[in-house]
Structure 1
Amino acid sequence: MTTPLLCLDLGQVDYQPAWDRMRDFTQTRDKSASDQVWLLEHPPVFTQGQAGKPEHVIDTGDIPVVQADRGGQVTYHGPGQLIAYVLIDLKRKGIGVRDLVSALENAVVEVLQHYKIDAYPKPDAPGVYVNEMKISSLGLRVRRGCSFHGLALNVDMDLTPFLRINPCGYRGLQMIDIRRLNADVTIEQVKQQLAAALAHQLDYSSVLFQKG
């Protein structure tokens, strides 16, 4: 472990500007650019992955749907859900996409241990689960050997919009958040814990936490 991980706290950001910003960063970064994690929340939005099937979008109502360039199917983002966009030079770090997915899942499991929540990944369905309910979703894209997009961790949010879709393409999949399992949680705490867990799982020496 030799380098720190730069974590930017962006607050609440609309989906499209955040997406544009991380695509631009990935497209223009050079070999000297530091790896970064962006921590943020989105206003209510459904996002559909590249392989997304329209039959999994049931009734979105007044919540917009954005066709994204990440992997995976449809999911929901909203206030109280912590997003971590993971901007890593995979080639420089010497890891593959499967390694990154495992590190992200293990980081979420590590965070949930703080709240005495027994969580686990599933080999056939990326993400993190608690008693077969999904608490964290993953969707990634790699361009020029670098990752973008990342994970969403349900902290303290309105889960009812998930009923308007088949989350991640699974009909009847139940979603859960940390608050429903342990009331002693704030999203600010989870930001710090997730940043530390990502640095640990991705083998960085420390975290540099900055407002973005």
Structure 2
Amino acid sequence: MDCVVKRLGRVDYAPTFQAMQDFTAARTPETPDELWIVEHPPVFTLGQAGKPEHLLEDIGIPIVKIDRGGQVTYHGPGQVVIYLLLDLARLKIKVRELVTAIEQGIIEFLAAHGVAAERRTGAPGVYVGDAKIAALGLKIRNGCSYHGLSLNVDMDLYPFTAINPCGYAGLKVTQTRDLGIPLTAHEAGEQLSQHLLRQLEIQHG
């Protein structure tokens, strides 16, 4: 599967969101798919069905309303975010298969570092024990996806206490550093992107 991997570094959320929308609106059947690996400064993003009551307190972090599925989540330094700009029709995969491929890519990345993780029915994302380590949210427009996943690597988890993560009250969160995986967000992004591409190849094949 031909896919351009772009490493954008630490970039503000709002212009990146706009760039994803612009890319998706402008793409043609010949446009190569892209994976964008980024980190964001602290921001809460509120999905289409996002309920304001899941924001429990104002801790001075900006809130951006966006068009992905799901509730509220937090992005910040030390968390790797990978956006998947894919033509699902061309890949011949359905949204459900894409979600499965993303979750499986994260699970296999963690397994390669000796950490057992799992998915939960009805609650997209990846969990280690009773704590969430990766969140997932997508938007499909004209058969093409944007948004993607976030994996907690080596970050300040405190802002998660100001929200019900993904709409679940009291949901614990964890990160790779606390599970004994000594990677930076950049290193984790490089490795995870390879697992994701392999899973998409399997689904595509």
Calculate the TM-score normalised by the size of structure 2.
Answer: 0.96
Q: Which structure features the higher share of helix residues?
A: 2
1:188 Cα shift?
A: 2.5
Q: Is the 8 A contact 1:139 1:150 kept in 2?
A: yes
Does residue 79 of the first structure (1) align with residue 74 of the second (2)?
no
Cα shift readout 1:108-158 (whole Å, capped 9, x = no counterpart): 011111221100111210000000100000010000110000000001000
> Residue 119 of structure 2 corresponds to which residue in structure 1?
121
1:189 Cα shift?
A: 1.9
> Residue 101 of structure 1 corresponds to which residue in structure 2?
99
1:57 Cα shift?
A: 0.6
> Residue 6 of structure 2 corresponds to which residue in structure 1?
8
Cα shift readout 1:156-176 (whole Å, capped 9, x = no counterpart): 000000000000000000000
| Matched ranges for 1:1-212 at <5 A | 3-203=1-201
Say what the alpha-carbon RMSD is for the aligned residues.
1.0
Q: Is the 8 A contact 1:50 1:72 kept in 2?
A: yes
* Partner Cα distance (2:107, 2:177) in 1: 15
Cα shift readout 1:88-107 (whole Å, capped 9, x = no counterpart): 00011111110000000001
Gaps in structure 1 of 5+ consecutive residues: 205-212
* Partner Cα distance (1:9, 1:132) in 2: 31
Gaps in structure 2 of 5+ consecutive residues: none
1:72 Cα shift?
A: 0.2
* Partner Cα distance (2:193, 2:126) in 1: 17
Counterpart AA for 2:116: D
* Partner Cα distance (2:52, 2:190) in 1: 36
SS at match of 1:60: coil
Identity of aligned residues (%): 50
* Partner Cα distance (2:84, 2:55) in 1: 26
Counterpart AA for 1:86: L
* Partner Cα distance (2:35, 2:103) in 1: 15
Counterpart AA for 2:188: V
Cα shift readout 1:57-91 (whole Å, capped 9, x = no counterpart): 11132100010110000000000000000000001
Q: Is the 8 A contact 2:85 2:145 kept in 1?
A: yes
Q: Is the 8 A contact 1:42 1:79 kept in 2?
A: yes
Cα shift readout 1:30-79 (whole Å, capped 9, x = no counterpart): 01000111000000000000001111011132100010110000000000
